[in-house]
A and B are shown apart, each in its own frame.
Chain A
Amino acid sequence: MDIFIQQLINGLTLGSVYAVVALGYTMVYGIIQLINFAHGELVMIGAMVAFTLIGVLVPTGMHPLVIVLLATGCSIPACMLIGYAMERLAYRPLRRAPRLAPLITAIGVSIILQHLALLVWSRNNLAFPQIIKTQAYHIGGATITNVQIAIMCMSLIMMGGLALLVYRTRLGTAMRATAQNAQVAGLMGIDINRMIAATFVIGAALAAVAGVMVGSYYGIAHYQMGALLGLKAFSAAVLGGIGNLPGAMLGGLLLGVVEALGAGYIGDLTGDVFGSNYQDVFAFLVLIAVLVFRPSGLLGERVGDRA
């Protein structure tokens, strides 16, 4: 019980990030049935751009919060632009192609983005400038820092904002209609291409913020940080039910908690045979278990008919 609350807090923090990234995956899959392998790279680029800007702005002596907000505010449009370019150049021409082609293209885009980032920012880790003073609070024997609280709050705001957008606005309704049945939506006067582009762009914006969150949590950004994170976030999306927005949020949080608790307790459970370095395996084991026992995910999948 001693580490339970601590691991729960850590898990919820990490899970919030997974949830935000998973939303991007699930939206894209729901609308065009494509696993956007390059989504993780968008998270990475968001983090790198933000870190670079923070590094540039720190000497100006502005308030730390303003710097972070400004940097995030610049990384969001950058990621949105890259997301739009991805969709327009690499995925749109392949909309009618058999399923394998967009998948391979996505892998190719992911490789390209990773190595372009490597060229721009070099192989070294980019450090998060120490401008935010970490404040730790103690609850029930566990520690929670202000960064963790900020991450969880930010995620909640983003998830709420997205839900508002998708369920209460005309754009959101149009996106949902396109996801359900693109052909009929087109007949109703919806511009399918714009809807799909919007999905990518919104997902990219979420990814940028997630990147800043992950970067500030771990303190560093690295050109390969997007790959594993993307994979886990996709597992979270599948866990909750692909195409299903509440599912992605639930899946993300659940996966984060399972991973943290697993990492914390696996040593005790297996008598030190397996240690916490097996943490990454959890995400995949959870994914395989879900797909075997409940293929449509916890909350059910929402995928349209592929024309």
Chain B
Amino acid sequence: MRFLPGNPGLRWAALALIGLVLVALPFALSHVGTAWVRITNLAILFTLLALGLNIVVGFAGLLDLGYVAFYAVGAYAYALLASPHFGLHLPFWVILPIGAATAALFGLLLGAPTLKLRGDYLAIVTLGFGEIVRIFLNNLARPVNITNGPQGISGIDPFKIGPVSFAKTDTVFGVMVSGPMKYYWLLLLVLVAVIAINLRLQNSRIGRAWEAVREDEIAARAMGIDTTKIKLLAFAMGASFGGVAGGMFAAIQGFISPESFVLVESIMVVSMVVLGGMGNIWGVILGALLLSFVPEILRYTVEPIQKAAFGKMLVEPEVLRMLIFGFSLVLVMLFRPAGLLPSAVRRRELAARGEGELAERKG
């Protein structure tokens, strides 16, 4: 947290100010438009996903292109246990841990056969795993209807704390508090918790073991690190974060189908991690927020601009968004391969390379 002032008193004041702004944000956003609170909620969900993937890709260096599978597992776990589909209506604080555990199990399932694979092969296998999960979700409607196939599961229960339901709008002290706003604050709490967990993980024995495995696996094993256990732990932990995010997604949206869990979403999350700065928690958050908000802002501005300039819509916002996304991937890799906010290790590497080049030029 280098951007905060060093003086402890100032530091707490700055944190309190940021906290206040974040808490008051939904009220400001709902003035701009009611959709923006929902967009922010989705952005926070993607940030949670990106932080989870950061454990696998950033900390442990295991390229996972099928991360959306864990998101799907968490979402379907919640949907199956809290909807009219099976008639079960468990409360959310029971289901979310179950979803996280199931996702962790899937993480182990993915990790177990892939421990010996090189980077490229691991990427393809994880991609295949993501696709397999999606195809199964799409087809497990016969003979026993587990996932209801392409139609998905609807009517999912929203969160409920006592008599307060997260789906309805309440009035508290004369201020209108809508459903999405309540989800926003809950998501904010979860996000803070996840960031705290990640920060503690990074500076723990496990985090250092991951870094060792990422940099040089053979040396790590020579130093006595059980690389098998560490890699499996990375998969499982990363997956569990995805599972929690998935459960919340199911409750917020009220309806899920396999269409939400396609390969493009996995690639989107990987891009958030890589573009933001692999391994750097704040970089990953920045990447996730950028890639969540910019397309939405584009959608609201591209149409009027094109209509004003050309008289009609030349390029749909969706296509333009993907084109810009593709180009930004290529351009960032060409000019800033370590991401927007490189992690400390990369910065040292880049600095060393810069000094080396300078020395060469001088000598």
Contact = CB atoms under 8 A, between A and B. Distances in A.
Interface stretch (A133-141, A150-158, A201-209, A285-293): A285-293
Nearest to A110: B326
Contact of B120 (A99, A281, A287): A99
Contacts, number: 122
Contact of A105 (B143, B278, B333): B333
Given A93-B334, A101-B333, A281 B132 contact: yes
B131 interface: yes
Q: Is the interface of B mostly helix, strand, loop or mixed?
A: helix
Contacts of A102: 333
A273 B143 contact: yes
Contacts of B270: 104, 107
Interface stretch (B16-24, B193-201, B287-295, B317-325): B317-325
A234 B326 contact: no
Nearest to B335: A93
Contact of A94 (B63, B327, B333): B333
B117 A238 contact: no
A110 B323 CA distance: 10
A275 B263 CA distance: 22
A112 interface: yes
Contacts of A109: 326, 330
A108 B120 contact: no
Given A104-B329, A119-B315, A284 B129 contact: yes
Contacts of B267: 107, 111
A103 B125 contact: no
A100 B131 contact: no
Contacts of A132: none
Contacts of A277: 135, 138-139
Contacts of B334: 90, 93-94, 105
Given A101-B337, A231-B127, A108 B323 contact: no
A111 B132 contact: no
Given A35-B124, A100-B119, A280 B326 contact: no
B119 A235 contact: no
Interface residues of B, number: 41
A118 B123 CA distance: 26
Interface in A54-104: 90, 93-94, 97-104
Contact of B319 (A100, A104, A118, A274): A118
19 contacts: A35-B124, A90-B330, A94-B337, A100-B63, A100-B278, A104-B271, A104-B329, A107-B270, A107-B271, A108-B326, A112-B326, A112-B330, A119-B323, A273-B143, A274-B139, A275-B142, A277-B138, A291-B114, A291-B125
Given A99-B120, A112-B330, A116-B323, 8 more contacts: A104-B271, A107-B329, A108-B326, A234-B124, A238-B124, A272-B143, A292-B113, A295-B117
